[in-house]
Amino acid sequence: MRTDQSHTARENVPSRSTQEDLRVPVQAKLAAAWTSFMFLYIYVDYFQLYKPGALDDILGGVVFTFDISPTLLTLMLASVAIPALMVMLSMTLPPRVNRATNLVVASLYIPYSVVNAAGESWDWAFFYGLSIGLEVLLLAFILRSAWTWRQG
């Protein structure tokens, strides 16, 4: 004799339209946004190497106006490591700490991203405007997602 609870797995499949949105956890949204930010962050730096004279300056021991040194490279590594770690931290930190960490780090990276255009000529305005604009949009998405995160 079959009871109501003895249905097969096939009979219990909820019907969903293929167009229906599934709720994406905030942690996954944050990790995805930090991942996108990292791609932009790295590629903007990479594409800057194509600017005339950029490689000559690096080979001459200078980046922007700074002499290349262990301290400079350590600071550069830290500036890349923080958002890279945010990908993992956004998925693993407890919700309350996660929210606060994302709010603080994203807030600090907005001015940091904008400063990247300092000292550049107007010839490069579109490149920097687009790259900084996209980075800031991603950071704003992170701030909005963390700020509106309803923790149950």
Domain map of the chain by residue range?
Answer: 25-147
Give the model confidence (pLDDT) of 17-35 as tens digits: 666 778 899 999 999 999 9
Q: Which residues sit opposite 66 in a β-bridge?
A: 63
Nearest C-alpha neighbor of 127 from the set 24, 16, 45, 14: 45
Q: Are 109 and 136 in contact (CB under 8 A)?
A: no
Global pTM reads: 0.83
pLDDT at 47: 95
* Residue at token pair 């932009």: 40
Q: Which residues sit opposite 62 in a β-bridge?
A: 67
Which tokens is 112 given? 């940091």
More confident site: 112 or 2: 112
92: left (phi over 0), alpha (psi -120 to 50) or beta: alpha
Q: Stretch 62-73: mean pLDDT, rounded?
A: 94
Q: Are 105 and 81 in contact (CB under 8 A)?
A: no
Distance of alpha carbon 102 from alpha carbon 24, whole angstroms? 17
